[in-house]
Structure 1
Amino acid sequence: MSPHTRTRQPLSTAPPAPPVATAPQAADEESQARDLPSRRTALGLMGGFGALAVASALFGTDLLSPSAATTDGDFAGETLKVLIPLAEGGGTDTWARFIGTELSRTIPGKPGFAPNNEAGGEGISGTNHFVSSAKADGTEILVSTATTVVPWVLGRKAVRYDFDRLVPVVANGTGAVIYARTAAGVRGVEDLLDRPKRLKFGGITATGLDVTTLLAFDLLEMDVEAVFGFEGRGPVNLALQRGEVDIDYQTTSAYGPAVEGLVKDGKAVPLMSLGQVDASGKVVRDPNFPKLPTVVEVYEKLHGKAPEGPKLESYRTLLGLTYTYQKGLWVPKDTPKAASSLLRQSADRLGKDATFQKAAAKVLGGYPLVADADLPQRVRTAYRVDDAVREHVLSLLTDTYHAKID
């Protein structure tokens, strides 16, 4: 029985006579009678709603929820629904809410901003949900980070999304520095090879952000013992101070408070930055650490030649995906170009605003908000993962670090 169906009482053969109404009561009932629709009108309305429901079932819910008007250069009256596939309070959540708030104020028409966290499965669940249900009209936006990109690179079974089916609106990167404990006998990069005892690396998981550092060790041909299971880079740093691990990396935002004091006291030495990938696909120095050589430069110093082959391609590819383009906002591929371009152009204007840059310095970690006209093509190139690269990464993780990839 429908929740709107009324149960009718059986009619008796001899209904009691109704009471005689007083004048006010009669007038009130007369008023109600005038307000009630006729049986024919009611049936017509019910039929109309029924037809609308059938049409909605056959052709989708757009009849009940009209599509957004986002192709006229004005998002007035719309709301940006931003899906954050990770829990509230983390770095990605903070980034997404800050950028989303500022972007909604910059887009013509000043649309509303509605962030929605869908945590689960290391970001996979929420991202899967977005690609299967998001409207391609420019109002529904996905947040990506290295946490969701690496499972895609590894081809994990749970991943049902493909970044080739999404269009980037904005990207923002970060960097990292590899440093070592001086008490472990490391004073410079020359002490990384031909060691009497392997250096011990502290990691969180081989199939997360750590993978890029593991690929750096692989490229440099370092013999490293890895211990995984730490809850974050902070605990790893503390373990290094206690002498439990010998080599670590810290991202740009954490490097200052976590490492600079140790360097000043002579307890640690910065060795190299992971670097950045430029527009031509070359690994270049990190602008936040211009005095530190990149992993590629360190290879040249240690081996007397430039690196090449699968190890270099794998490192360069993952460096771009997990650091240079670490975080981003995306819309479905079928989004009208007028809508996606307006979002990107608004983000580009926002990123160039001096007031925003000052306010965003801490959140962006000293790296620009990138949304120029060439961004879609650069990201498309960066996200092109060759089979040889994928196979090399999988082999390194499973054979050397005994990682289980489901």
Structure 2
Amino acid sequence: MTKDFNITRRVALGLVAGAMAMGLAQPAAAEVDFGGQTIEWIIPFSAGGGSDTWARFNAPLLSKYLPGQPTVVVVNEPGGGSTKGTNLFAARAKPDGLTILGTSGSTQFPYLLGDPRVRYEYKDWKIAMAGPTGGVVYTTPSLGLKAPEDIAMLKGKDLVYASQGATSLDLVPLLGFRLMGFNVQHVFGFKGRGDGRLAFERAEVNIDYQTSSAYIKNVKPLVDAGQAVPLFSWGVLNEAGEVVRDPTFPELPSFVEAYQTLTGAAPSGPEYDAYFAFFTAGFPAQKMVFLPKDTPDDIVAAYQKAFEDMKADPDYQANAEAVLGTYEQVTGPLAQALFEKGTTISPDLRKQVADMLAADYGVKLGEE
């Protein structure tokens, strides 16, 4: 697998040295045995989106490498911009290792913004794995575009976007499109990005984005068939903390490049600061797997070891890049550091974004 993202994840986030200093040792997991058990992997999104694709790729490999080779079943619990299924996990999951949660930036963002629908506390959980990812924005050729360099043709067009909600991961495109000056109607209430893609295929919306795994699986065929035009990827962070092209999509400009094509200048100012904060929290630290906080350390260690061991599996090595992109799934101190980065934001930026959503979109937190 390509290792370009190794640089990105080191920058990511400032992280590894400090995390190592915390001395997050992993205890031995030899006595854990899930033989004959069924493990439910809760995904708080509908089927067909990036989180669902990510979990369904990992689930059989996780089953193979957990002690006792239990059956791992992905359970979709969509709703509330992912808060519904996450609240259920927080309320019901027992610390026995038989229920795990997969979160996304759409789960982090309501928490970061203080959305009253959130009845979960990230500090109540133990992380097993973190999976950074990216995403690609695309549009329809019916608007006249043929390639990413035609992006200026979208200026002045009436665009419609299917959103899970203003405090979901769809906050990144909301802030990004706004920064670019696009006229976008955000239709809130979709249960997952997979539903947004289906709305695009039905021509109910004309601009969409999918996280990398869903884009590779479900949108690239549309591009190849001439039914979608990619515009840009969100990009990744280089060693200097700058946004550069995503190595999974090297042919596509990053968000920053697309912005420069539109305006002739690099993005800057308070609106870009807000966009950048949520992009950073939402993508380098986007996909995470959790267990309840009272889960014994040996069970947590068993999960971490399984996620590490499966990366050496021939099936994983043969297919991971095609499904997930060039992003390395991580455990231990780096996962802990990404976890902390992805669930922390300054009060000033939180207030800035909440005030903007209320004033310009009529969105009060919890009432999308």
1:260 aligns with 2:224: yes
Q: Rg larger in 1 or in 2?
A: 1
Whether the aligned pair in 2 keeps the contact of 1:75 and 1:110 (CA below 8 Å) is no
**Match 2:115 to one of 128, 131, 156:** 156
Of 52, 67, 73, the residue aligned with 2:29 is: 73
Q: How many Å separate the matches in 2 of 1:369 and 1:228?
A: 32
- Between stretches 210-219 and 148-157, larger displacement belongs to 148-157
Kept in 2, the 8 Å contact 1:180–1:271? The answer is yes
- Cα deviation code 1:57-109 (max 9, x no counterpart): xxxxxxxxxxxxx96422543357434154785544564355233223213x3
Which of 173, 185, 193 lines up with 1:213 in the alignment?
A: 173
Question: In structure 1, what residue type is equivalent to 2:258?
Answer: V
Query: 1:283 touches 1:294 (CA, 8 Å); kept in 2?
Result: yes
Matched, 1:119 2:56: no
Taking the aligned partners of 1:176 and 1:225, their CA distance within structure 2 comes to: 19
- Structure 1 length-normalised TM: 0.66
1:387 equivalent in structure 2:
347
Following superposition, the deviation at residue 291 of structure 1 comes to 1.9
Q: What's 1:307 paired with?
A: 267
Q: Does residue 270 of structure 2 align to residue 270 of structure 1?
A: no
Matched with 2:127 is 168
Query: What is the identity, as a one-letter code, of the residue corresponding to 1:295?
Result: F
2:253 aligns with 293
Is the 1:172–1:370 Cα contact (8 Å) retained in structure 2? yes
Matches of 1:186 and 1:302, distance apart in 2: 14
* CA apart distance, 1:157: 1.4
Aligned equivalents of 2:53 and 2:257: distance in 1?
34
Asked if 2 retains the 8 angstrom alpha-carbon contact of 1:131 and 1:161, the reply is yes
Unaligned runs of 5+ in 2: 1-25
Name 2:244's counterpart in structure 1: 284
2:108 alignment partner AA: V
3-state SS of 2:226 partner? helix
For the structure 1 residues 307 and 93, does the alpha-carbon distance in structure 2 shift closer, same or farther, using more than 3 Å as the test?
Answer: closer
Q: From the superposition, tell whether residues 199 and 125 of structure 1 become closer, same or farther in structure 2 (CA, over 3 Å).
A: closer
Q: Where do 5+ consecutive residues of structure 1 fail to align?
A: 1-69
The answer to whether the 8 A contact 2:111-2:343 is kept is no
Q: 1:82 aligns with which of 40, 59, 63?
A: 40
Which secondary structure state, in structure 1, belongs to the residue aligned with residue 225 of structure 2?
A: helix
Q: Aligned partners of 1:203 and 1:269: how far apart in 2?
A: 17
Percentage of pairs with the same residue: 31
- Give 1:4-403 correspondences, 5 Å limit: 72-78=28-34, 79=37, 81-86=39-44, 89-91=47-49, 92-93=51-52, 95-107=54-66, 109-113=67-71, 115=73, 117=75, 119=77, 121-122=79-80, 123-136=82-95, 138=97, 140-181=99-140, 184=143, 186=145, 192=152, 195=155, 197-207=156-166, 208-220=168-180, 222-228=181-187, 231-239=195-203, 247-251=207-211, 252-253=215-216, 254-262=218-226, 269-277=229-237, 282-360=242-320, 363-364=323-324, 367-371=327-331, 373-403=333-363
Q: Aligned pairs, how many?
A: 326
TM-score by length of 2: 0.72
Cα separation, 1, equivalents of 2:238 and 2:89: 30
Q: Could you say what secondary structure the match of 2:128 adopts? A: strand
Aligned equivalents of 1:279, 1:349: Cα separation in 2: 27
Q: What is the Cα deviation at residue 390 of structure 1?
A: 2.2
- Native 8 Å contact 1:84 1:93 kept in 2: no
